[in-house]
């Protein structure tokens, strides 16, 4: 770490605490879209500037682009707040409308279980149990290619739904087994982000539905669980990544933390390549930001179907990286004016969803916010508002707001 790094630390460390302080003042709670987006990215940038691994520099222009995104996000947050709602946030929410929550929980778990059991059966018929146990890394190879669609994806919602049941006092002992089985299914997909998504969604659901009961220690506990899972997954399943990072003596003594550190900060030096224009152009404008729309139009035959572009690797020190943070990927896709608009929209939309979840009693609003907020929490890594997120949100709407709440599957008067 040099003097320039220290000066940037003097900016990003205070920004982290400032985002929490403003959240407390405006929303009467510390864990909000504002503190998540600006706080998490500022922490990530601060850790980068500690230079615990040898990485390339991030230019002043790139830092300015990042800060401009922070500013537009903050503006979006402010414009989303209404005085009458702000005053209503002073008191913790009262009774939660838990109608049909148990039905949603068991329906979602059943669909997810069908997904991973079919997936597992397909694999065992082809390769056998011995091949899986002896070569667990195959989850990221042959097994992942047989992923059967979106059934396992909605299993992400089982854990946050269980958290809601615990808050309401309606959870049963068997529900723990259901959650563990679903988590097992998420691991079987070979996509480590699915289980991490589920844990993040559970934390966000808890924080917005019962904010007075959600404390810093709970967030720290969730982060510790995800870090442990990431380390084990990297060692046993994600074995194709090359562990050649170089770095300081600090992480040299803690080799298991090198890859988590790289994932947490590597997007920033990679972003510099985006800003410098050294990456190839994307196939079309809005290829990343409007990915769900392009896929829908392509599926309807209204536009050319473009296979997902291969992520370009860039050298960020003694290793390579191919993700560029939410800010970087949006900038790559729609340039700086587009980044400002998207940052504002994210701030505005996430805050409206947060306020709705805080002020409305129906439990499904909390899930909607949790699914959306995960994109803010992982924004230091990449832009994830893809078709998968749209599918999860549509499922919550269809099952939670229409099929169950309006009595399509059960009588309107039904209660959990």
Per-residue model confidence as pLDDT tens digits over 333-348: 999 999 999 999 999 9
Q: What is the pLDDT of residue 13?
A: 97
Q: Is 361 left (phi over 0), alpha (psi -120 to 50) or beta?
A: alpha
Residue 249 CA from chain centroid, whole number: 31
pLDDT tens sequence across 1-29: 889 999 999 999 999 999 999 999 999 99
Q: What is the pLDDT of residue 133?
A: 60
Q: Which of 396, 410, 358 is nearest to 105 (CA)?
A: 396
Q: What is the pLDDT of residue 48?
A: 95
pLDDT tens sequence across 55-107: 999 999 999 999 999 999 999 999 999 876 666 776 665 568 888 999 999 99
Mean pLDDT value across residues 136-146? 51
DSSP code string of 184-227:
HHHHHTT-HHHHHHHHHHHHHHHHHHSGGG--HHHHHHHHHHHH
Flag whether pLDDT at 232 surpasses 90: no
Tokens representing 133?
């146990």
Q: What is the pLDDT of residue 186?
A: 85
Q: Which helix (H) or strand (E) holds 45?
A: helix 33-49
Q: Which helix (H) or strand (E) holds 321?
A: strand 320-321
Higher pLDDT, 97 or 289: 289
C-alpha–C-alpha distance, residues 67 and 50, integer Å: 19
Mean pLDDT value across residues 301-320? 80
Share of the chain above pLDDT 70, in %: 82
Q: What is the pLDDT of residue 401?
A: 92
Give the Å distances, CA to CA, from 194 to 103, 189, 200, 201, 378: 23, 8, 10, 10, 12
Q: What is the pLDDT of residue 145?
A: 42
State the DSSP code for 9. Answer: H
pLDDT tens sequence across 188-214: 776 778 889 999 999 999 999 999 889
- For residue 153, name the pLDDT band (cuts at 50, 70, 90): confident
C-alpha–C-alpha distance, residues 219 and 408, integer Å: 37
Q: Is 10 exposed, middle or buried (0-12, 13-18, 19+ CB in 10 A)?
A: exposed
C-alpha–C-alpha distance, residues 132 and 137, integer Å: 8
Q: What is the pLDDT of residue 42?
A: 97
- For residue 38, name the pLDDT band (cuts at 50, 70, 90): very high
Flag whether pLDDT at 406 surpasses 80: no
Do 270 and 314 contact (CB within 8 A), yes or no? yes
Domain regions of the chain by residue span: 3-93+241-385
Flag whether pLDDT at 54 surpasses 90: no
Q: Is 58 exposed, middle or buried (0-12, 13-18, 19+ CB in 10 A)?
A: buried
Strands (E), 323-393: none
Flag whether pLDDT at 413 surpasses 60: no
pTM of the model: 0.89
Q: Which helix (H) or strand (E) holds 315?
A: strand 314-315
Do 52 and 247 contact (CB within 8 A), yes or no? yes
Output the average pLDDT for the chain: 85
Do 103 and 409 contact (CB within 8 A), yes or no? yes
Q: Which helix (H) or strand (E) holds 314?
A: strand 314-315
C-alpha–C-alpha distance, residues 159 and 380, integer Å: 24
Q: What is the pLDDT of residue 125?
A: 75
3-state secondary structure labels for all residues of 249-312 = HHHHCCHHHHHHHHHHHCHHHHHHHHHCCCCCCCCCCCCCCCHHHHHHHHHCCCCCCCCCCCCC
């Amino acid at each position: 770490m040099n003097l320039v790094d220290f000066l940037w630390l003097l900016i990003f460390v205070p920004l982290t605490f400032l985002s929490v302080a403003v959240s407390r003042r405006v929303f009467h709670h510390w864990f909000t879209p504002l503190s998540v987006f600006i706080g998490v990215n500022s922490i990530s940038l601060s850790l980068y500037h500690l230079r615990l691994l040898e990485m390339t520099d991030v230019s002043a222009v790139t830092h300015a682009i990042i800060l401009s995104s922070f500013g537009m996000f903050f503006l979006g947050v402010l414009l989303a707040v209404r005085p009458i709602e702000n005053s209503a946030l002073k008191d913790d929410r009262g009774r939660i409308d838990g109608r049909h929550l148990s039905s949603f929980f068991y329906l979602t778990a059943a669909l997810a279980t069908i997904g991973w059991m079919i997936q597992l059966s397909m694999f065992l018929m082809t390769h056998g149990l011995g091949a899986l146990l002896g070569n667990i890394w195959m989850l990221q190879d042959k097994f992942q290619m047989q992923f059967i669609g979106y059934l396992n994806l909605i299993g992400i919602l089982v854990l946050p739904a269980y958290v809601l049941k615990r808050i309401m006092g309606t959870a049963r002992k068997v529900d723990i087994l259901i959650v563990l089985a679903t988590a097992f299914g998420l691991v079987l997909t070979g996509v480590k982000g699915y289980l991490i998504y589920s844990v993040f969604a559970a934390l966000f659901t808890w924080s917005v539905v019962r904010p007075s009961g959600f404390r810093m220690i709970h967030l720290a506990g969730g982060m510790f669980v995800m870090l442990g899972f990431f380390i084990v997954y990297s060692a046993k399943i994600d074995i194709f990544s090359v562990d050649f990072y170089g770095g300081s003596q600090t992480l040299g003594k803690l080799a298991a933390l090198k890859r988590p550190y790289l994932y947490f900060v590597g997007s920033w030096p990679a972003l510099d390549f985006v800003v410098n224009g050294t990456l190839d152009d994307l196939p079309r404008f809005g290829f990343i930001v409007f990915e769900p729309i392009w896929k829908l139009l392509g599926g309807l035959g209204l536009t050319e179907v473009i296979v997902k572009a291969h992520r370009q690797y860039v050298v960020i020190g003694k290793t390579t990286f191919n993700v560029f943070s939410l800010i970087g990927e949006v900038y790559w896709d729609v340039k700086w004016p587009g980044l400002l608009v998207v940052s504002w929209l994210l701030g505005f939309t996430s805050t409206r969803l947060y306020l709705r979840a805080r002020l409305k009693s129906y439990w499904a609003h909390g899930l909607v916010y949790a699914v959306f907020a995960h994109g803010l929490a992982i924004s230091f890594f990449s832009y994830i508002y893809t078709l998968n997120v749209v599918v999860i949100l549509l499922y919550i709407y269809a099952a939670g707001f229409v099929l169950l709440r309006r009595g399509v599957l059960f009588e309107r008067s039904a209660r959990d």
